[in-house]
Structure 1
Amino acid sequence: MKNLMLKIGTFFFKYRNQAFPLIIVALFALFAPTTAIFGSSAAEQWKDVVAILVVLSGLLLRATVIGYAYIQRGGRNKRVYAANLVTEGMFGVCRNPLYVGNMLIYAGLFLFHGNPVVVILGCLLFGFIYQCIILAEEEFLSAKFGDAYSAYCRDVPRWALKLSAFSASTEGMVFNLKRVVAKDYSTMSSTLIALLATEFYRVAADSITEQEVSYAILLAVLFVGVVALTGLVSSLKKRGIFDELTAAH
């Protein structure tokens, strides 16, 4: 079973940027989002609030990780690779804090969609895929860093957040907000776009009523605004605004 999971992890490590959006779009297209929970619009609204809070917690966790100690998770040539064993910052709290943040974002998006099949299947599928990716990374790190990595694994949990270690692991470090924007603006953008698109899908699933026209227009305007802001940040990055940050970690 482990060998199979390693192969799955290696595959998705290489193709996750293409595969993950396709999986989400397929799930959301196959199953319509909910408009009421057990006939209650109020319960649906509270569910959406909880979902958005889960998404925000994932984005906040990712921002905290990147703001203190960023590592390139893309590997080398789309293969698992690490030049150094990073254990400071949030990596002293959890071995995979970026992946935990990602899972919170995905779980929140699935919950926001609301269809039970999407929530259950989406969370289980992405949880399994990330576990496979982590196993593939651990295989590489264990072989490269040996006893140092084994000691790190004994002290820092794989998925859980050892918050008691946060103060010590970030001691002397300065949170870099500009690096968060430079490195994670695309994740923030795609998350907001997914939320807005899902909400528009929910409103327009049958037909947009007269009462919903203004709301649908607002969603469209926000969607365009997010796309435009993303383009602006991308343009600034290409012009070298964030060049001094690339050497930070």
Structure 2
Amino acid sequence: MYRWRGYLPLLMAPVRVLGFWNFRSPEGSHFFDTLLELVCLGISMTGLLIRFLVMGYSPKGSSYVGRSTVHLKEGSLKTTGMYSLCRNPLYLGNFLMALGVFLFPRSLVVVVVYVSAFWLYYERLILGEEEFLARLFGQEYLRWTERTSLIIPRFSNWVKPEDPFSWRKALRREYKRIFGVVAIMTVFEFVGDLVAEGRLEFDPLWVALFLISLAFYLTVLFLKRKTHLLGVEREKEAIPAKVPTAQV
């Protein structure tokens, strides 16, 4: 279950497609239609920003429990930066990133199914991870959980990160997701117009957003593969212990 957590959005792809079955554009208002689409994009970009900050502030040589819940530095629990706001900032980022995509078809059923599936699925993962961390760090971890919420940020708890921000690390980690979100929403825009209007239309705004994101993706890909500008020390993918999955 833990190993395949990243495939949840793919498994729910048919739900997103079905959301367009009764898709309707706001009557007589292209502006309102575009505004709703940009709100969805903004929600997804907020999730990506959270992920970007978590990755950028992760210390050199850090290890991840599943690359998601908490990262460790030199065998100690790291609780500053984004991890001072909530215990699972990457899961929060994942939730918002996908929420914007699932909101795009404007189907309440699709959103309810997504939120329910996300919570049921990730709850199992979080339980397993927290049991593991409690055994590993004992009272230190329990004290952190008492003052830090599970996934809803408490901005009053903010503690300045101990390590400097690395744009290179953040770009290397997140550039594919940034392009992916814009690409998926561009396709959804075209599909939505096709369903609502009965013809394929190319909205100049979404064409421009797609081309900009594509140029960004290709630029970062080139810098990553052909230059040393984004070179960073390869991180460990997991700490040397198996993270248990909660019993279902």
Name the TM-score class by shorter chain. 0.7 to 0.9
User: Residue in 2 aligned with 1:20?
Assistant: 9
Match of 2:18 among 13, 30, 35: 30
Task: Indicate yes or no: 2:98 matched with 1:109.
Answer: no
1:127-161 CA-partner distances (Å, limit 9, x unpaired): 32222221121122112222221111112111121
Instruction: Tell me if the contact between 2:19 and 2:110 (Cα under 8 Å) persists in the aligned partners.
Output: yes
Identical aligned residues as a percent: 26
Task: Indicate yes or no: 2:66 matched with 1:75.
Answer: yes
Instruction: Tell me if the contact between 2:77 and 2:137 (Cα under 8 Å) persists in the aligned partners.
Output: yes
User: Residue in 2 aligned with 1:91?
Assistant: 83
Larger relative contact order (C-alpha < 8 A, sep ≥ 6)? 2
User: Residue in 1 aligned with 2:232?
Assistant: 244
Of stretches 92-101 and 223-232 in structure 1, the one that deviates more from structure 2 is 223-232
Match of 2:146 among 151, 154, 165: 154
Runs of 4+ in 1 over 6 A off after TM superposition: none
What is the CA RMSD across the aligned residues, in angstroms? Answer: 3.2
One-letter identity of the residue aligned with 1:234: L
One-letter identity of the residue aligned with 1:85: L
Task: Indicate yes or no: 2:126 matched with 1:134.
Answer: yes
User: Residue in 2 aligned with 1:7?
Assistant: none
One-letter identity of the residue aligned with 1:198: F
User: Residue in 1 aligned with 2:168?
Assistant: 178
Unaligned runs of 5+ in 2: 238-248
Q: How far did 1:46 drift?
A: 3.6
User: Residue in 2 aligned with 1:233?
Assistant: 220
Distance in 1 separating the partners of 2:95 and 2:198: 32
1:187-215 CA-partner distances (Å, limit 9, x unpaired): 21211112111112112236326xx35x2
User: Residue in 1 aligned with 2:116?
Assistant: 124
Q: How far did 1:73 drift?
A: 5.0
User: Residue in 1 aligned with 2:180?
Assistant: 190
Match of 2:198 among 207, 212, 215: 207
Match of 2:51 among 47, 52, 62: 62
- Count of aligned residue pairs for this structure pair: 228
Instruction: Tell me if the contact between 1:94 and 1:160 (Cα under 8 Å) persists in the aligned partners.
Output: yes
One-letter identity of the residue aligned with 1:32: F
**Change over 3 Å in CA distance of 1:220–1:51 after alignment to 2:** closer
Distance in 2 separating the partners of 1:125 and 1:40: 35
- Superposition TM-score, scaled by structure 1 size: 0.76
Of stretches 228-237 and 129-138 in structure 1, the one that deviates more from structure 2 is 228-237
Unaligned runs of 5+ in 1: 1-10
Distance in 2 separating the partners of 1:40 and 1:152: 52
**Change over 3 Å in CA distance of 1:207–1:61 after alignment to 2:** same
